[in-house]
């Protein structure tokens, strides 16, 4: 009986160790995704009577592929007509000016990419190293359902998980930020009318907490093993 219990304990430890290792490797490995939306809105918000949409507006995914990173900037398909993502801000754990970035195309025809450590402010709240700017004029808007793809050479996704340096604003700093534009506002307000009847707002990038998901997986595995052992003893 003691021998059987010893084997059961060993199996329990082995199973939990394997689950924990798989969970950690899955969190730390393949990709980093930022979610931008209502829950991350910061700064003054949409002004002059404008109201930002609920839910997620856009995502930015850094995926490790063959020693490089594939960056995909995507706008949610449910974004209201006329609204678009105009600017994206990220940080880099190194010299941003030395990064080699290829624009692989997508929804917008061109992109201005700024590469300068602490060189770009998002609404004054944080200084960022990388700035992806889509000219809001003409066809360069990233609208609902569109995306852009880039290759960043010789880096990993974890290199872009870094807090911005503090800015002049009272919010943040954040890991990433984006600007949602084209939000309808009250044209009876002079400032709104002067901007063509639209306003904008900012959102910080949100990343799911890896520690909590790891603990959930380990907890579920522990519970399952206990039930199995109880049934086995019967």
pLDDT digits (tens, 9 = 90+) for 145-170: 999 999 999 999 999 999 999 988 88
Q: CA-based angle 95:96:97, to the nearest 5?
A: 95
Distance CA 27, CA 140 (A): 34
Distance CA 234, CA 229 (A): 9
Q: Is the pLDDT of residue 223 over 90?
A: no
Assess if residue 4 is contained within a domain. no
Assess if residue 154 is contained within a domain. yes
Assess if residue 160 is contained within a domain. yes
**Dihedrals φ, ψ of 59, to 5°?**
-135, 155
Assess if residue 184 is contained within a domain. yes
Assess if residue 225 is contained within a domain. no
End-to-end CA distance of the chain: 13
Assess if residue 16 is contained within a domain. no
What residue numbers bound the domain in which 164 lies?
Answer: 31-207
CB 68 within 8 A of CB 153: yes
Predicted pLDDT at 11: 45
Assess if residue 224 is contained within a domain. no
Q: How many domains does the chain have?
A: 1
Q: How many CB atoms lie within 10 A of CB 181?
A: 19
Assess if residue 3 is contained within a domain. no
Share of the chain above pLDDT 70, in %: 74
Distances (CA, A) of 78 to 15, 38, 148, 193, 205: 42, 13, 17, 26, 18
Of the candidates 162, 73, 88, 97, which has an alpha carbon nearest to the alpha carbon of residue 122?
A: 88
């Amino acid at each position: 009986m003691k021998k059987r219990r010893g084997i059961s304990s060993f199996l329990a430890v082995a199973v939990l160790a394997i689950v924990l290792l798989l969970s950690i490797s899955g969190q730390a490995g393949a990709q980093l995704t930022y979610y931008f939306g209502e829950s991350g809105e910061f700064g003054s918000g949409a002004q002059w009577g404008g109201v930002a949409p609920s839910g997620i507006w856009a995502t930015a995914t850094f995926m490790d592929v063959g020693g490089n990173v594939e960056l995909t900037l995507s706008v949610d398909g449910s974004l209201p007509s006329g609204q678009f993502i105009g600017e994206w801000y990220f940080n880099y754990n190194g010299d941003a000016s030395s990064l080699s970035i290829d624009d692989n195309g997508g929804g917008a025809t061109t992109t201005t990419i700024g590469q300068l450590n602490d060189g770009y402010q998002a609404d004054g709240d944080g200084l960022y190293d990388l700035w992806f700017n889509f000219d809001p004029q003409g066809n360069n808007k990233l609208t609902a359902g569109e995306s852009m793809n880039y290759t960043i050479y010789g880096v990993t996704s974890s290199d872009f998980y870094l807090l911005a340096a503090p800015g002049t604003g009272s919010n943040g700093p954040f890991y990433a930020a984006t600007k949602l534009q084209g939000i309808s506002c009250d044209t009876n307000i002079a400032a709104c009318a002067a901007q063509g009847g639209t306003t904008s707002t900012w959102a910080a990038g949100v990343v799911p907490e890896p520690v909590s998901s790891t603990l959930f997986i380990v907890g579920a595995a522990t519970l399952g093993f206990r039930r199995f052992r109880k049934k086995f003893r019967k």
